[in-house]
Structure 1
Amino acid sequence: MRVYRLYVLTGTLVLALWGASCNGSDDPGPGGDVDAGRDAGTQPVPDGGGPDGGGGGGGQDFDCNVARQESCAQGQSCHFADLADGGTGSRCFEAECDVVDQDCAEGLRCTYATEAGETRRRCVAPGTAGEGAPCTLAPTDGGVAYDTCQRGLFCREAPEGQGSGFTCQRLCHATTQCGNSGECNTVLRLEGTDELPLLCGPPSPACNPFAQDCTSPLSCYPSTGGPVCAGSGTRTEGQSCEFSNQCAPGSACVNAGGGLTCRALCQPGGTPACTTGNCRALDGNPGVGACVP
């Protein structure tokens, strides 16, 4: 199994836009009620890609919401996936079970199992290795291979600074499912499947969205709890979006009424200021706002 680590967050995070305008007025301006505004958070994308951080292409096409598991039919789960043009999007995948919900029959676990070169989610016997414990791949006499971890865990290389070898780590759709296990920010790339499931990993590094001090190809975007480094997008001012890091560096995906669009970042009452619109402060990101009409 091949896996890749990257330091980004999922699109679970919702940030309110509060009513501080660039000119110091409390008037919400033509954008309407500022309580309707929100930042959409950031999404994980496979690293090692092109300048947009999307795996070498510009396409980003989201059919469903991974963090909230929305827009899929019954029996399907939403996962990130590689697109034909090399970009990253999300897709609804049908499978026997969900690796986070662990909805198998009593006494079984849902995990990614490989058989005849194909990897899929299926109900199998649970392993004995707990979170953070060493683990291995365990082929069975029936030709099915899966790891030795307990329910809700997956075996991969230990995160940097947390030992060596392979350990059991928690599967997730959203950071709220990680508890003390960090953030839902690690993308798994498994041979034999188009799904890109997520694991809980160490917290993403903090950064300055105005200085853009992240290590290339990552860029700095606002997120709940403060700005973080994430894969960079290319969408421009006013274009529709679902995640902040679909937008070009220096902007974020916000909703001030009328839907989610990319808007330039600003500093309420300071520099950079808005060239057009009003600067609304982003909740959880002191000194960071977005320019809204």
Structure 2
Amino acid sequence: PGTDFACNVARQEGCPSGQSCHFADLEDGGTGSRCFAAECDVVRQDCPQGQRCTYVGQGGATQRRCVEAGTAEEGAPCTLAANDGGLTYDTCQQGLFCKDEPVDGGTGFFCRRLCHATSECGEQGECNTVLRLEGTAELPLVCGPPSRQCDPFGEDCTAPLSCYPSTSGPVCAGTGTRREGEACDFSNQCTPGSACVDTGGGLTCRPLCRPGGTPACATGTCRTVGNNPGVGACVPS
């Protein structure tokens, strides 16, 4: 799956200047990441003062554009409607997006924070909720509740997220692109099925393994990953 991920969403790495990295639905039906050019970035919020960057619909297409900032705060109810110029966008403040959520058997709409990485979500959330918007191939992310634990040897995370070891056990997180042996800071910078571990010469991406079980290491030694019972990483012997 690593070949489908052309850039790193969480770190915003791998794209030319003027483009940003987003998850995307691919032509073959899979999910990956791609570089997209647009007027602005929904996380950096690099629009002129008094405006915000958000996803704007017009004529069946959806693009990131600079528009007037809304007034609804994070977590507050919001609406999505067309203005006099035929542009459709929501009533949320800068950096937020109006997301549909189940409420008492129905559907409500609330402003949630747009993000590229969990570090942008504060202490109570993670950048783990994927939006699928009509008229764009981009799959933006918003902050959601902490991810449930998952199986790093399975495929039980919703694409484009993958399961990685973390300090609190395996969690679903944005998929990385770095391959075996490449330097890293976090496990989800690596391709699925690997983790970022210290091999003695610095942190690098290494394949996952089960200590004393399957999958085993083709080369090296299966060393347990702390706080992740039954999960190891193949490190050079």
| TM-score, with structure 1 as normaliser | 0.64
Counterpart contact for 1:221–1:245, Cα < 8 Å: no
**In structure 2, what is the Cα distance between the partners aligned to 1:123 and 1:110?**
5
Deviation at 1:263, TM superposition (A): 2.2
Please state if 1:252 is matched with 2:219.
Answer: no
Please state if 1:120 is matched with 2:79.
Answer: no
Which SS does the other structure have where 1:225 is aligned?
Answer: coil
- Correspondences of 1:148-227 after superposition (within 5 Å): 148-158=91-101, 164-207=107-150, 221-227=164-170
1:290 to 218, 225, 233: 233
Q: Which residue of 1 aligns with 2:30?
A: 87
Give the RMSD, CA atoms, in angstroms: 3.6
Q: Identity percentage over the alignment?
A: 62
Deviation at 1:164, TM superposition (A): 4.9
Deviation at 1:61, TM superposition (A): 1.3
**Higher relative contact order (Cα pairs below 8 Å, separated by 6+ residues):** 1
Please give the per-residue CA displacement for 1:209-239, whole angstroms capped at 9, x wherever unaligned. 58x696999985423431125799xxxxx79
**In structure 2, what is the Cα distance between the partners aligned to 1:63 and 1:214?**
22
- Correspondences of 1:1-293 after superposition (within 5 Å): 60-158=3-101, 164-207=107-150, 221-229=164-172, 243=188, 247=192, 251-254=193-196, 256=199, 263-267=207-211, 274=216, 277-285=220-228, 288-293=231-236
Counterpart contact for 1:59–1:88, Cα < 8 Å: no
Deviation at 1:288, TM superposition (A): 3.2
Which residue identity does 1:172 align to in structure 2? C
**In structure 2, what is the Cα distance between the partners aligned to 1:192 and 1:208?**
33
**In structure 1, what is the Cα distance between the partners aligned to 2:157 and 2:118?**
23
Counterpart contact for 1:244–1:252, Cα < 8 Å: no
Deviation at 1:118, TM superposition (A): 0.8
* Structure 2 unpaired stretches of 5+: none
Counterpart contact for 2:165–2:195, Cα < 8 Å: no
Aligned length: 223
Task: Provide closer, same or farther for how the CA distance between residues 145 and 231 of structure 1 changes in structure 2, counting only shifts above 3 A.
Answer: closer
Which residue identity does 2:73 align to in structure 1? G
Which SS does the other structure have where 2:123 is aligned?
Answer: helix
Deviation at 1:290, TM superposition (A): 1.2
Deviation at 1:64, TM superposition (A): 1.2
**In structure 2, what is the Cα distance between the partners aligned to 1:215 and 1:195?**
19
**In structure 2, what is the Cα distance between the partners aligned to 1:192 and 1:277?**
47
